[in-house]
Amino acid sequence: MEYIKIRFGKNLGDMHSRLQKTIDDMLRQVNPMLVLSEQTWRPQMDMYETPEEIIIVGEISGVDKEDLEVELDQKAVKITGLRRETARVPGIKYHLAEIVYGKFERILLLPLPINPEEVKASYTNGLLKVTMPKSLSREARQIPIQGE
């Protein structure tokens, strides 16, 4: 059985540079070759909540499981990966080339604290699913008062 790497980090939300992403997105619209950072793509992600869990589903077809990594802390989840370019056939002429290759990174802020020891990830048919049980510490509880 193979596993998707899950690492635990600190302050992942601070690692995300919104300014760099905004600049890259603007330049990419003008000319994809003008992007300042390393070639990246941005896979589609869904995040939803059940009474017990927070679930993230990412559409990342064409990425080998060995090229995926999930890192998390109490505030955010970072999903990184690499879609490797297929070998180009010499002498062919492309009429359309929309598939983006290269590295990607998504940092998603969590709406609630999670229990990191119970996080699970699976990858099937191009969909990455990360299931994170909610931390019980968010529930209200009554504290007994000690003394006379």
Tens digits of residue pLDDT in 42-83: 999 999 999 999 999 999 999 999 999 999 887 899 999 999
The tally of domains found in the chain comes to: 1
Q: Looking at the domain assignment, is residue 90 inside a domain?
A: no
Task: Categorise residue 145: left if φ over 0, alpha if ψ from -120 to 50, beta otherwise.
Answer: beta
d(CA 82, CA 65): 10
Q: Looking at the domain assignment, is residue 144 inside a domain?
A: no
Q: Looking at the domain assignment, is residue 65 inside a domain?
A: yes
Query: 45-49 and 53-59: which strand pairing?
Result: antiparallel
> Which residue in this structure is represented by tokens 């070998």?
87
pTM of the model: 0.68
Nearest to 70 by CA among 9, 13, 133: 9
For the chain (148 residues), the mean pLDDT of every run of 10, in chain order, is 64 54 64 52 94 95 93 88 87 84 92 89 94 76 63
Containing structural domain, residue 44: 5-85+97-137
Q: Looking at the domain assignment, is residue 91 inside a domain?
A: no
CATH number, position 42:
2.60.40.790
